[in-house]
Structure 1
């Protein structure tokens, strides 16, 4: 065991010695230091009088940008909802009917019930219709800016109408 340890240490030391010799032999001196490069970068940016990062003065929120963020957000929310529903079905006592009877016993008004149904249906409808829009883009259709705007409005209208229809059921 000691022989194996000595052999391993010997190889490690030999590798370190040979690698350090190779590194020093192949080293190339730097033209400028990091400090000089940083000073040159900051001097160039301050002389150009432009902002250092994109912000509201450069990029204002557009419909496609907002819908892209919304699509990702609804995807995350829907995934989280499915996981929570599945975990609650496994961990909570009782069955679905007992919880449905509990909600009915709360005597909530129809406006509250329809609003809750709409809030649950809208992310699904929005994500589904916007997903179809993305599939059309993958086919190379509707990529011109006016078409992107029109399809965005169409997705929003369809999502609201389908959500209202589902909430009315």
Structure 2
């Protein structure tokens, strides 16, 4: 049987509160990174599609490769948007979202009284950490698609240079 240790409980509460803050900071970081990925992929998509559509004098193979690169940048944009998409927890949620699900002030107070703070903080850490991990996975897909698009654009350049008349 474990004995009640107020010092340990306070230390656990403090560490859990720090972990919640760290998880929220990670969510802010991944959202900022996904926003940058979306900007880059959206701009690249615009340039690639315009070039593929308007540069009719390009060799067919080069245009096809540019279209493939445009598709990859569209996939990167989609993955970045997917990372930025708000995800509402199916159950209680954390912070304001959790309070919104309760419905009444009395219900919120009852829930706070029934659940020890350490338990609430631990649940917040788990929920926020899972959300951050999911967002980072989606961001990685976006970055991988952008890297593939850059490689495909390089292939298009090689094709273009190979088909230019020799001077």
TM-score, normalised via structure 2 length: 0.35
Q: Which has the higher helix share?
A: 2
Of structures 1 and 2, the larger Rg is shown by 1
